[in-house]
Amino acid sequence: MTAPRRILLVNGPNLNLLGVREPGIYGHETLADVEALVTATAAEAGYEVRAVQSNHEGVLLDAIHAAREDCAAIVINPGGLTHTSVVLRDALSGVALPVAEVHISDVLAREPFRHHSYVADVAVVHVTGQGVAGYADATRRLLTTLAG
């Protein structure tokens, strides 16, 4: 069986407000811009993208679980769930797909509660503080990992 040529792009709570919410931290680019960037970046390597964003943890968990059927990897910005969600971490671990963790801001330069990531130990790629461009970097690095 041929490996799937698709990646799942997951954006967690409040990322639907990109471009509006705290532009001094997150910039002026929108979630649609992020999705277009990741889609174009993945296409460079012959991959397609399925994108999901939700403010509801269960929706994200269901999308991650479904990815095991037809995706080769996951790019995720868990938003605030990064620092709070063991179940999100367990879902990512449970599907056993390579994961790239992305954060638009430099979370280590922000409030202390943002310094811990439950996702970090299951991700093979970590990109923080590059703004929206970090999604392209994370996608390229993840696809390089897939290529072996």
Give the residue numbers marked as catalytic. Answer: 26, 103
Ligand-binding annotation for 137, yes or no, is: no
Ligand-binding annotation for 77, yes or no, is: yes
Task: Please state, as a whole number, how many other Cβ atoms lie within 10 Å of the Cβ of residue 133.
Answer: 13
Ligand-binding annotation for 106, yes or no, is: no
Ligand-binding annotation for 7, yes or no, is: no
- CA gap 120, 61 in Å, rounded: 17
Helices (H) and strands (E) in the chain, counts: 5, 5
Q: Under DSSP, is residue 9 helix (H, G, I), strand (E, B) or coil?
A: strand
Ligand-binding annotation for 90, yes or no, is: yes
Q: Under DSSP, is residue 96 helix (H, G, I), strand (E, B) or coil?
A: coil
Ligand-binding annotation for 28, yes or no, is: no
Task: Please state, as a whole number, how many other Cβ atoms lie within 10 Å of the Cβ of residue 52.
Answer: 18
Q: From the annotation, which residues make up the binding site for substrate?
A: 77, 83, 90, 104-105, 114
Q: From the annotation, which residues make up the binding site?
A: 77, 83, 90, 104-105, 114
